[in-house]
Amino acid sequence: MIGTLLGRWRPRPASAEASREARRWIWTIYAKETLETVRDRRTLAMMIVLPALFMPLATLGVPYLAERQQHQIQTVIPKVAIVGGSPAMMHLAAAAKLLAPVRVKDAAAALRSRQVLAVMEIPPRFEQIVRRGGQVHVGILYDASDPESTAARARAMALLSRYSQRIVAARLAARHVNPQLLRPLVVDQRSVATQRQITGSLLASLLPFFIAMWAVVGGMSVAVDLAAGEKERGTLESLLVTPASRDAIVIGKFLAVLTASMAAVVVVLIAMMVSLRWGYPYLLHTTEKIDVALPVGTAVVMLAISALFCALVSAIQLAVSTYARSPREAQQYITPLYFFTVLPALAVEFVGDWSHTAWAYLVPVLNAFFTFRELLLGTLDWGHLLLAAVACACYAALALRMAIALMSRESVVFRI
Amino acid sequence: MADREILVEADNLEKRFRGYHAVRGISLRCYAGEVFGLLGPNGAGKTTTLRMLTTVLRPTAGTARIAGHDVVGASAQVRRAIGVLPENAGVYGRLTGRESIRYTGRLHGVPPEELEARIERIAGALELTPHLDRLTETFSKGMKQKVNVARALVHNPPVVFLDEPTSGLDVFSARAVREFIDGARREGRCVIMSTHVMEEAEKLCDRVAIVAGGRVRAEGPLDELKARTGLELEEIFVQLVAQTVA
């Protein structure tokens, strides 16, 4: 089908007058479509209001809830049933405030009903065996599906570890052995990452996904309205009988979709930066502000790659909308495009090894996200950037050419 | 007729869709300063014929020239010479009446000052002026149709195609549109309109072609057709369509 569509297209030589006229048509169509878009409250809500509200929720709301849960886990002392028992360990547990020891009749039932969050099973004659220098097996029961129970298990492990260290220390002392002999290495860890790099890593894990999501969502309703919507309203035929060429009609509409898509992406970027810069220290328990200010050069390149990515998405959406019989059908076709765009954005974190190979920068969608990562992490390779930019532009041009070819087919325009 | 300029000329126009022969060799000539009616029942091939003449459908066979330009070989020039009101044409709901008409005028390259003057003149003739700056989504069906008629004529085309121009309009709107069509004829334009309202055809058309089954069954000036058959237009129409169905 693509071959048939493109086979009909032949580049035409254009005189200066024809070029001027084509630019006038494109501008007239673009201005009209943009005016209609701006006057459509639903589209504006999708394009600007929704991302402006959604981004603070996504960037702050989720970390806030995660931190709240962590805070609870760290500050609340979990109830742990200790079966069997060892006075020394009970004393250590109370002193270290790692867990609250509880006595229950049926420990497993108490764990299932969440009366306790974990159970420590201490065998009979525990302290006698330890005193004799023997080894004891201590059991821990917990619920792996419950984060609080898992945290209680960690605390029980910490308690056992401390107790174990005391025993070892006592045994070594009895044998006049310096405990330091068992710790030949002392590890001193230091990260060489700057605050910028840490912020870049945070942004690299968030931004590609949200850019992908809003590039599609921002332009979707406009693309559907401008082609399938025109068919349904009966305004397309009036447009096709004007002197404006099919190329000019599609390019004018494409620019309007691109504007909407790009506007949504810019709103997302601004909302996210503002949320991270001022929302993080306010909402979360961090003392330092996050430095999210991108260098001008990085921001410009980032916007340029975003524009190319939005161009690709917009051209595909417009081609699909042109092909569809109705807005409803267009929505159905565009929904899978959303998943095909967002999935690589999610996957990019886990296929970092591909980013070292040139071919990855030729893969549509994935190339833009690898480039975003490099930009944000400050590891930009200009060769990769060039490959990704050229590939994005070529794919967008191909999709746009398909939209023009579809708009020129009477069987598609009139669905006969 | 011989001394008048032929603006629309079609010879054996045919259109086949997948497994369906919609138009089977329609030929017609239309002149400057006349209203030509394409009469026929639903599915007769009127709209398909108009779409071929307005370049949005490519004829399967036959040729057509509009203002001297071939509809296939010089479709861009044809589109500069025509104004079209398509069947069931909609409006841009989030544009005002003025913006809608201006949009079409700009696509046709009408200079800005001239365009504004034309919009005022056409809106006045169609009694649209008081509503011109309201969004068209608030318009009645009649007012929407008037906006579309205005869009078809804003660039001053010599040839105008109107597909069912008064379909579904109230008496007042239909009358305003008919008067406008009459005015277009007086200005020397060639107006081709499709309709299945015989009364309207009798009021407006200088000549008609009765189309059924994708073919022209009768063509000529109204008076001549009536004189030839001794029947009223509606009776001629019914008999010809019945013969086609049989």
Compare CB distances from B91 to A35, A235, A416 and report the shortest one's residue: A235
Say if residue A88 is in the same domain as residue A222.
no
Say if residue A325 is in the same domain as residue A357.
yes
**Domain ranges, residue A29:** 15-67+194-413
Q: Are A83 and A123 in contact (CB under 8 A)?
A: no
Q: Are strands A100-102 and A79-83 parallel, antiparallel or unpaired?
A: parallel
Say if residue A204 is in the same domain as residue A142.
no
pLDDT value at residue A118: 94
Say if residue A21 is in the same domain as residue A153.
no
Instruction: Pick the last residue of a domain from A175, A202, A217.
Output: A175
Q: Is residue B109 less than 8 Å (CB to CB) from chain A?
A: yes
In a domain, A4, yes or no: no
B94 chain-A contacts, CB cut-off 8 A: 35-36, 39-40
User: Which residues lie across from A81 on neighbouring strands?
Assistant: A102, A119
Say if residue A212 is in the same domain as residue A289.
yes
In a domain, A92, yes or no: yes
In a domain, A157, yes or no: yes
In a domain, A131, yes or no: yes
Q: Report the share of chain A in percent with pLDDT over 90.
A: 40
Say if residue A165 is in the same domain as residue A207.
no
In a domain, A188, yes or no: no
DSSP label at A123? -
A1-8 contact pairs (CB < 8 A, 24+):
A2/A402, A5/A402, A5/A405, A5/A406, A5/A409, A6/A401, A6/A402, A6/A405, A8/A405, A8/A408
Domains and CATH numbers, chain B: 6-245 (3.40.50.300)
Interface of A to B at Cβ within 8 Å reads 21, 24-25, 28-29, 32, 35-36, 39-40, 233-235, 237-245, 410, 413-414, 416
Q: Chain B residue closest to A410 (CA)?
A: B57
B18 chain-A contacts, CB cut-off 8 A: 416
Say if residue A111 is in the same domain as residue A202.
no
Would you say residue A131 has pLDDT above 60? yes
Say if residue A152 is in the same domain as residue A220.
no
pLDDT value at residue A285: 61
pLDDT value at residue A281: 66
Total domain count for chain A? 2
Whether this model's ipTM surpasses 0.90 comes out as yes
Compare CB distances from B103 to A32, A234, A413 and report the shortest one's residue: A32
CA distances, B156 to each of A17, A47, B86, B111, B179 (Å): 22, 39, 17, 12, 17
In a domain, A182, yes or no: no
Q: Chain B residue closest to A407 (CA)?
A: B56
- CB within 8 Å of A271: residues ≥ 6 apart: A51, A52, A54, A55, A56
Would you say residue A5 has pLDDT above 80? no
Would you say residue B199 has pLDDT above 90? no
Say if residue A60 is in the same domain as residue A101.
no
pLDDT value at residue B9: 96
In a domain, A127, yes or no: yes
Q: Taking residues B200-220, report their average pLDDT.
A: 92
Q: Is residue B104 less than 8 Å (CB to CB) from chain A?
A: yes
Say if residue A207 is in the same domain as residue A142.
no
Say if residue A40 is in the same domain as residue A82.
no
Compare CB distances from B107 to A28, A35, A40 and report the shortest one's residue: A28
Q: Using one digit for the tens of pLDDT, what is the confidence trace for B39-91?
A: 998 889 999 999 999 999 999 999 999 999 999 999 999 999 999 999 889 99
Would you say residue B111 has pLDDT above 90? yes
Q: Is residue B43 less than 8 Å (CB to CB) from chain A?
A: no
pLDDT value at residue A69: 79
Three-state SS annotation for A39-79: CCHHHHHHHHHHHHHHHHHHHHHHHHHHHHHHHHHHHCCCE
Would you say residue A171 has pLDDT above 70? yes
Q: CA–CA separation, A53 vs A56, rounded Å?
A: 6
In a domain, A369, yes or no: yes
pLDDT value at residue A215: 92
Instruction: Pick the last residue of a domain from A122, A143, A175.
Output: A175
Say if residue A91 is in the same domain as residue A168.
yes
Q: Using one digit for the tens of pLDDT, what is the confidence trace for A181-226?
A: 888 888 998 888 877 777 778 788 888 888 888 999 999 999 999 9
Tell me the CATH number at A140: 3.40.190
